[in-house]
Amino acid sequence: MRLNHHRVGHLLSPYLDGELLPKEAVAVQEHLLECAACREVYDRLRATKALLGELPVAEPPAEFWTAVRAPRGFRFPLTARLPLRWPALRRRVAWVAAAGIVLLALALAPLIKGSLDRLHAAEIGVDLFVREHALQMSTQPLTDRAFLGVVAGDSDLVLVGEPARPGETAP
């Protein structure tokens, strides 16, 4: 079993705690013997762990499990039904017309899409850039993820044409 840097990065902490399967532990050990960079990270983690206090194994608090709940407010799309009582001829004409509309739509799609995209881009304003900046802020070591979730989440909504908060006007 061979592991790459990325995988070893994920396994170092459980390796330190003796939580890996024997074959995984052997693979991590082999990688550490070969790789100075991962060895350095491992030594640092081990030193940090040594500094940390002994933590008691705690039972999750009751409110933790109440927090694990299914999202509310599911909605199912309405299904539309075509009336089936039309005479056969009228139905045939309708099918031909529908096929014509589909062909026309396919031909015009790139043009329409391009125009819509341009219109949409013109409406975006700064939200796309604020979202991308907030996502990249997560690479900064001291940034708070809960706050970034608010900023990036609000921008997601604005980018699909919804107001960031109910009651606000859509952008």
Partner 1 sequence: MIIALISRALAVSAVLVLVATEVNFAAPPPALAPARILQLALDAPRLVDYEGTKVVTALRGGRVETITVAESHKRPDSIRLEYLSPEDLAGRLIVDNGAVTWHYEPRLNMAFEGPTLEGGVLSRDLTMLLRNYRVSALGVEDVIGRQAYVIGLDPIRRGVRRQLWVDRATGTVLRSEERDPSRGVILSTYFSRISFSLNQPEAYFQFRKPAGARLFKMFATEAGSMSPAALQARVRFAVLIPPVLPEGYTFRGGALSRFGSLESVYLRYSNGGNLISFFEAPAGSIGWPSAGQRTTVEGQPARLVDLGYFRVLIWEQRGLRVTAVGTVPTETLLTVAGHIAAGREQALVQDVSTMIQSDPTTVRKLRGEGLTFPEVARTIVLSQRLGTDLPTTVRFVRGSLTATDLAGKLGMRPEALQKMVEQAAGDIKGVPALKHPR
- Interface positions, 98-157, toward partner 1 (CB under 8 A): 114, 116-118, 120-126, 128-153, 156-157
The answer to whether 169 touches 163, Cβ cutoff 8 Å, is yes
The answer to whether 30 touches 11, Cβ cutoff 8 Å, is no
Question: Which DSSP symbol is given to 44?
Answer: H
Residues in contact with 101: Cβ distance below 8 Å, sequence separation at least 6, in sequence order = none
* Contact region with partner 1 (CB under 8 A), list: 4-12, 29-37, 83-91, 94-102: 4-12
Nearer to partner 1, 76 or 106 (CB): 76
Residues in contact with 152: Cβ distance below 8 Å, sequence separation at least 6, in sequence order = 131, 134, 135
Positions in 16-45 near partner 1 (CB under 8 A) = 44-45
Nearer to partner 1, 51 or 80 (CB): 51
Nearer to partner 1, 68 or 89 (CB): 68
- DSSP state string for 108-168: HHHHHHHHHHHHHHHHHTTHHHHHHHHHHHTTSTT--HHHHHHHHHHHHHHHTT--SSTTS
Give dist(CA 55, CA 111) in Å, integer.
Answer: 62
- To partner 1, the closest distance from the beta carbon of 97 in angstroms equals 30
Positions in 54-73 near partner 1 (CB under 8 A) = 55-58, 60-61, 64, 67-68, 70-73
Q: How many chain residues are in contact with partner 1, going by CB under 8 A? A: 73
- To partner 1, the closest distance from the beta carbon of 2 in angstroms equals 20
Nearer to partner 1, 100 or 114 (CB): 114
Nearer to partner 1, 13 or 29 (CB): 13
Site string for partner 1, 75-94 (x = CB under 8 A): xxx-----------------
Tokens 């491992």 found at: 42
